[in-house]
Structure 1
């Protein structure tokens, strides 16, 4: 009995070490599933749409469910399941897969790592704020949480994405499987349930041959952004928020917290 426990501990340590400073996203085996088919979704962490697959670890998960027109179905996996989600596609229409992690902790032993992170994710005052708070530049901690969604077409794929009450989330305002996206995919970024203005959104486009194209976009005053999309591509949209925690003693506890939103979908040929 000790071997499974040891393996679970090793997987947990690996997933924690890999998760910070990389995107986390839901990766369906197929974004279009027959009405009587099976949805299979993997949890991925990495960069530029390449990375590691994480197993189902209940201690890391706060919320995992599939939302369709007939209601909400929780994902009830077993320790180590991979894919993490395997579920019968019972209901025709658009399925919104939702996954939220529990908080995890990252420790910065190199201030340059923190500087790269805040520059990449466009937190313009984070470095000066860190200094103004009197925080030392090594050995400080940040908690972080992932808020991921994916759109899967079951049968006709008809339906619409919706806000699902996460701290930060990206809502698709068009259905990529049924709507005309010639003018682009309209997205809404929400933070604490309200529109997030002037926020960076990073878009990853993966072509059938595996080529990844990355572009940066910004929401308008209403939290809206329309991103250009092409047919036959996989997309990951990513937006991150960083907050200062009410603690300025790095020896007492974490001093920053980040929330990461991701949304994946596919555009049919």
Structure 2
């Protein structure tokens, strides 16, 4: 079993009011599949593991792949297909589904919503930096993209996740389907292939009854954290990069957020 130090900040159970940000994640319809069975998965956007599903649309993603021991296989489908992923991949063992969206734009018309987002995702420095740059508070323009991964077991499920070259990426350092996770589930958070030290990692956990719990962790100096997991539960690990952009026009985005996510299930 792999062990890494981590620092748990606080735990918070699901609240009635929605959070100030919308996560993107991949949710397979099955996590442990027989060899040769189709992999089916939804792509979703929402809060607290409740969200809207999106159909297959190549105009909305720049990468959509399944990575197995047989290599990298593009996800193919027809426009409008739901679930967005429905294919039989080559290979066996641990498979990683990869989905990267196109760039989207967002306008905050209330300064308080921008500051709440920055506080929630732990980059409050961006609030001060926005003011230092002399940018207005009436409208804040942002560009964002999603960089999602999900782990499924094909056949025996043996193998390991790996870095797949995402701009913002979470790499599993244990196999949720074969490894002993009694000491937690280790992950490494990367930006441009380099470890992100001392950054927030948000864990969304859903039990069999549908109750959602949210916990926050911080990475160590190697970008690693170990999150607590329970057999039979579904997990979304989330980490967000915020970076400033050069502004040349009135409506140019001043900020860019890069959302990394990783989903998996821990077997009973």
Q: TM-score under structure 2 normalisation?
A: 0.91
Q: Deviations over 1:16-75 (max 9, x none)?
A: xxxx93000000001111112110010011000001101112111100000000111101
Distance 1:219 1:120 in 2: 16
Matches within 5 A, 1:182-261: 182-247=182-247, 251-261=250-260
Q: Deviations over 1:199-226 (max 9, x none)?
A: 1000011101101010000000010101
Give the structure 2 partner of residue 56 of structure 1.
Answer: 56
Give the structure 1 partner of residue 165 of structure 2.
Answer: 165
Matches within 5 A, 1:45-194: 45-194=45-194
Give the structure 2 partner of residue 262 of structure 1.
Answer: 261
Give the C-alpha shift of residue 126 in structure 1: 1.2
Give the C-alpha shift of residue 252 in structure 1: 4.5
Q: Which moved more, 1:130-139 or 1:142-151?
A: 130-139
Contact 2:115 2:124 survives alignment (8 Å): no
Contact 1:108 1:140 survives alignment (8 Å): yes
Give the C-alpha shift of residue 250 in structure 1: 5.6
SS in 2 for 1:119: helix
Contact 1:35 1:90 survives alignment (8 Å): no
Distance 1:266 1:179 in 2: 12
Distance 1:77 1:21 in 2: 29
Q: Which moved more, 1:131-140 or 1:117-126?
A: 131-140
Structure with the largest fraction of helix: 1
Unaligned runs of 5+ in 2: 1-19
Q: TM-score under structure 1 normalisation?
A: 0.90
Give the C-alpha shift of residue 122 in structure 1: 0.2
Q: How many residues align?
A: 249
Q: Which has the higher contact order (CA 8 A, sep 6+)?
A: 2
Structure 1 segments, 4+ long, off by >6 Å, are none
Give the structure 2 partner of residue 13 of structure 1.
Answer: none
- Residues 57 and 138 of structure 1: CA distance in aligned 2, closer, same or farther (over 3 Å): farther
Contact 1:205 1:213 survives alignment (8 Å): yes
